[in-house]
C-alpha cells in the first residue's frame, strides 16, 4: 500500500502544470462577446495566484462580467506550488471594482472556506458550478475525462486546456463528432509552456531533455506539454472554409484495407473533387468547419466485425492499413458542400472567387 501511495503521489505531480498569462490572453481574446453579464468559474485554481483569476479580475469591467468565482483545492498558503495538503480549501468571489481604481483590491474579494477539500467533484464545488455560465481553467490532465463529463452533465459552456491525446478518447471524440466540443482558436501546433514547481524543475533538468520536456526562458524552467484549448463557445476561426485545390486520383489517394474510405496524409491535401469518405490526420480538427465537412463514424465504413464492434468512432492503432502498412490515427470526414468538378484541360466549374484564385496559383 505504501508503494501504491507513493506512485499515486508521483503521478499526481504531473498535473502541476500552471498556465501562463500570455497564453490565457491569446486564447480568451477571441471570446470576449461571450462573457458579458456572465458568471465565470475557474474551479481548478488557487485564486490568489492563478493567472486565470488575474485575467478575469483585471478585465472584469472590460468583459462586462457579472461575477467571478475561483476555487482552491486544499491550498491556503500563498504559494502557487504548495503541496495541496492544507486541511481546508477556499473559494473567492469577485463582483467587480468598488472604489473606481479598476483593480481587484483585497477588500473587494470575498474569501469563503470550504468544509471539504475543494475537489471539483465535491458537493460544495458542484453547487458553485451550478451558478456558473462559463467555466475557464486548466483541469488536471489525469482527470480530464471526468472533468469534461461533469461539464456536460451540468450543460456548461467552457474554455479549458487538455492534452492533445484527449481528442482520441472515445468519450471526448464523441463530443467532437457531435459538435458539442471543438478546438479553440490557438492552433494545435502552438507550443504551450507551463510554470511548474521547483521540485519538478529539478527533475526536468536532471532526467529530461531540454527543448523536449522543458525549456528555459529568461532563466526560468517551463514545462512543455502536448496541450490544446478545447471549448464549446463559438469563434470565427471555426467558420473559415478550408481552401482546397488538389485533384483526386486513385494513385494519390488509395483506399484503406479495412475501410471504404481514401487516405489523406495532410489536411492541405484533401481533394477538392471527392465527395466520399476520407481519412484525415487528427490535426484536421484545427481547420474543421462543420459547415464545410461532417465527421463520420468509422465503424459505418467497414464490414469487418472486429472493427464495427470497437468502442470508438475514429480509426486508431493498426486498423488504418494500406497494403498491410499501418497509418497513424485518422478521422473520417465527408464534404457537406458539393465537391469541385474537374473537366478536361483541368478547367473547373465556377468556384468562389478566393478559392478559384488559390487554385489558379497552385496550378
pLDDT tens track for 116-164: 889 999 999 999 999 999 999 999 889 999 999 999 999 999 999 999 9
Q: CA nearest 280: which of 304, 308, 261, 299?
A: 261
pLDDT at 76: 41
Report d(CA 53, CA 150) in Å as an integer.
21
Residue in this structure with the C-alpha cell 477538392, named with its chain if needed: 272
Percent of the chain with pLDDT over 70: 84
Residue in this structure with the C-alpha cell 460544495, named with its chain if needed: 124
Per-residue pLDDT averaged across 320-329, rounded?
90
> pLDDT tens digit string along 275-294?
999 999 999 999 999 999 99
- On the question of pLDDT at 313 being above 70, the answer is yes
Residue 352 grid coordinates: 468562389
**Cβ 216 vs Cβ 239: under 8 Å:** no
Lowest mean pLDDT among 50-64, 81-95, 236-250: 81-95
Report d(CA 170, CA 167) in Å as an integer.
8
Q: CA nearest 137: which of 46, 36, 64, 74?
A: 46
- On the question of pLDDT at 25 being above 90, the answer is yes
Report d(CA 95, CA 14) in Å as an integer.
33
Which pTM value belongs to this model?
Answer: 0.85
What does each C-alpha distance from 291 to 120, 337, 349 come to in angstroms? 35, 8, 21
pLDDT at 9: 32
What does each C-alpha distance from 122 to 48, 71, 117, 360 come to in angstroms? 21, 12, 8, 58
**Cβ 35 vs Cβ 65: under 8 Å:** yes
Report d(CA 353, CA 188) in Å as an integer.
28
Per-residue pLDDT averaged across 308-318, rounded?
88
- On the question of pLDDT at 298 being above 90, the answer is yes
pLDDT at 106: 87
Residue 24 grid coordinates: 490565457
Percent of the chain with pLDDT over 90: 62
pLDDT at 138: 93
**Cβ 310 vs Cβ 169: under 8 Å:** no
- Higher model confidence: residue 354 or residue 172? 172
What does each C-alpha distance from 120 to 88, 112, 298, 343 come to in angstroms? 14, 15, 34, 58
- Higher model confidence: residue 249 or residue 78? 249
CA torsion 154-158-163-164 (nearest 10°) is 110
Residue in this structure with the C-alpha cell 466540443, named with its chain if needed: 181
pLDDT at 74: 67
> pLDDT tens digit string along 26-84?
999 999 999 999 999 999 877 667 899 999 999 999 999 999 999 977 644 444 434 44
Amino acid at each position: 500500500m505504501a508503494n501504491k501511495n507513493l506512485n499515486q503521489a508521483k503521478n499526481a505531480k504531473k498535473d502541476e502544470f500552471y498556465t501562463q498569462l500570455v497564453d490565457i490572453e491569446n486564447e480568451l481574446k477571441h471570446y470576449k462577446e461571450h462573457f458579458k453579464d456572465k458568471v465565470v468559474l475557474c474551479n481548478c485554481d488557487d485564486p490568489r495566484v492563478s493567472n486565470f483569476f488575474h485575467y478575469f479580475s483585471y478585465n472584469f469591467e472590460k468583459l462586462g462580467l457579472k461575477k467571478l468565482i475561483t476555487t482552491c483545492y486544499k491550498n491556503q498558503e500563498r504559494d502557487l506550488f504548495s503541496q495541496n495538503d492544507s486541511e481546508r480549501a477556499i473559494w473567492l468571489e469577485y463582483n467587480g471594482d468598488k472604489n473606481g481604481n479598476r483593480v481587484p483590491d483585497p477588500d473587494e474579494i470575498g474569501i469563503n472556506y470550504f468544509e471539504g477539500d475543494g475537489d471539483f467533484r465535491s458537493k460544495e464545488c458542484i453547487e458553485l458550478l451550478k451558478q456558473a455560465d462559463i467555466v475557464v481553467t486548466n483541469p488536471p490532465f489525469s482527470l480530464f475525462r471526468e472533468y469534461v463529463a461533469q461539464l456536460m452533465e451540468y450543460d456548461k459552456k467552457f474554455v479549458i486546456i487538455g492534452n492533445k491525446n484527449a481528442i482520441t478518447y472515445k468519450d471526448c471524440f464523441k463530443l467532437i463528432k457531435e459538435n458539442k466540443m471543438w478546438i479553440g482558436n490557438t492552433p494545435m501546433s502552438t507550443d504551450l509552456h507551463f510554470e511548474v514547481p521547483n521540485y519538478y524543475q529539478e527533475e526536468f533538468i536532471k532526467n529530461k531533455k531540454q527543448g523536449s520536456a522543458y525549456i528555459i526562458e529568461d532563466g526560468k524552467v517551463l514545462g512543455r506539454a502536448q496541450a490544446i484549448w478545447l471549448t464549446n463557445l463559438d469563434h470565427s476561426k471555426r467558420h473559415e472554409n478550408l481552401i482546397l485545390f488538389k485533384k483526386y486520383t486513385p494513385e494519390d489517394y488509395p483506399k484503406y484495407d479495412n475501410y471504404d474510405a481514401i487516405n489523406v496524409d495532410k489536411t492541405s491535401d484533401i481533394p477538392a473533387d471527392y465527395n466520399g469518405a476520407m481519412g484525415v490526420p487528427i490535426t484536421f480538427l484545427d481547420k474543421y468547419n462543420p459547415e464545410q465537412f461532417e465527421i463520420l463514424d468509422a465503424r459505418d465504413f467497414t464490414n469487418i466485425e472486429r472493427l464495427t464492434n470497437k468502442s470508438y468512432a475514429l480509426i486508431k492503432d493498426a486498423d488504418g492499413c494500406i497494403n498491410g502498412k499501418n497509418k497513424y490515427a485518422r478521422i473520417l470526414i465527408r464534404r457537406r458542400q458539393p465537391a469541385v468538378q474537374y473537366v478536361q484541360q483541368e478547367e473547373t466549374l465556377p468556384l468562389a472567387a478566393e478559392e478559384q484564385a488559390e487554385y489558379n496559383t497552385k496550378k
